[in-house]
Amino acid sequence: MAAKRIDGKVISAAVLDRCAAEVAALKEKNIEPCLAVILVGEDPASQVYVRNKQRACERIGVRSFTIQLPADTDQQTLLDEVAKLNADPAVHGILCQLPLPRSLDERQLLLAIDPKKDVDAFHPVNVGQITIGSAKLLPCTPAGVMEMLRYEGIEVEGKHCVVLGRSNIVGKPMALLLLQANGTVTICHSRTPNLAAYTRQADILVCAVGKEKLITADMVKPGAVLIDVSINRNAEGKLCGDVDFDPVSEVASAITPVPGGVGPMTIAMLMQNTITAAKQQSGLI
Ligand code: GUN
């Protein structure tokens, strides 16, 4: 039997509806959640992401504005912009779209953002909170995956969760959130020998490697849940993930498509974080 297709468009729409209701309730209390986005340079993919984030804000009634800086902006100018946003009580969330131009220091920038306003949850303080299981702001993509599992009624506790990829944005925090949910977690990465030996043991397999058709049907345990975080472009220019979708669908019990799977969840969780940040800064939580 073919696997259930986990629809990120449907689940993200449900999250955004919930967010819209929360924003309306906050506005009743004269709190208007506000997200500031910093975009340095003119990378076309980053411009698309930023536009989509603004659209999501409009949809749920969050105020947002973008500070567009030229590609040759120096580090101090960028840090000064962050400092202004940190000091502005009307701004609840600050997001600097990555990657930055090569001349800029990303680590220093992430350290400069007030952890309370860090809606990406990239600041080391927030990363630490995730590690000890007391985070309020959760990294958007892994939080989106957890939301999908919850929505689909897929229990994590007692499951063997295998995460492929160890990036700071996806792999590492994904493993921590699954661990927090009482999964038994294995992290594999580019230097892991015999990947299939691990993937075949996975009840829940999260793929965030960035390699088309990395996961073939013979590498998947029958009945496993497949979460494909990657967005690759195949030889025909079409978007695809790491999973060989059609054959794997015959083995798995549930699977996220690319596009239309995890992708739409990331922005929805960013909206959730912006609301959480606004509540926190208003003393409501
Ligand atoms: N660039 C690619 N993904 C992300 C993300 O989640 N947040 C930010 N700030 N930049 C990104």
For 61-84, how does the pLDDT look when each residue is reduced to its tens digit (9 = 90+)? 999 999 999 999 999 999 999 999
Segments making up each domain of the chain, as ranges: 30-123, 140-264
Fill in the amino acid letter for 272: Q
CA of 98 to the centre of ligand 1 (A): 5
Can you read off the two tokens belonging to residue 257?
Answer: 């498509």
Q: Which atom of ligand 1 is nearest to the CA of 139?
A: 6
Fold of 30-123: Rossmann fold (3.40.50)
> What's the pLDDT score for residue 21?
98
Rounded Cα distance between 206 and 217, Å, is 15
> What's the pLDDT score for residue 163?
99
Query: Same CATH fold, 140-264 and 30-123?
Result: yes
pLDDT tens for 157-186 read: 999 999 999 999 999 999 999 999 999 999
CA of 262 to the centre of ligand 1 (A): 14
Residue 1 scores a pLDDT above 90 = no
> What's the pLDDT score for residue 143?
98
> What's the pLDDT score for residue 165?
98
Residues 6+ apart with CB under 8 A from 238: none
236: DSSP letter: T
> What's the pLDDT score for residue 217?
98
Average pLDDT of the chain to the nearest whole number: 97
* Interhelix angle 171-180/124-131, nearest 10 degrees: 30
Ligand 1 pocket (Cβ < 6 Å) reads 95-98, 120, 140, 169
∠ CA(252), CA(253), CA(259), 5° rounding? 75
> What's the pLDDT score for residue 16?
98
CATH entry, 140-264, from 2.30.40.10, 2.40.270.10, 3.40.50.720, 3.40.190.10: 3.40.50.720
Q: Which atom of ligand 1 is nearest to the CA of 266?
A: 6
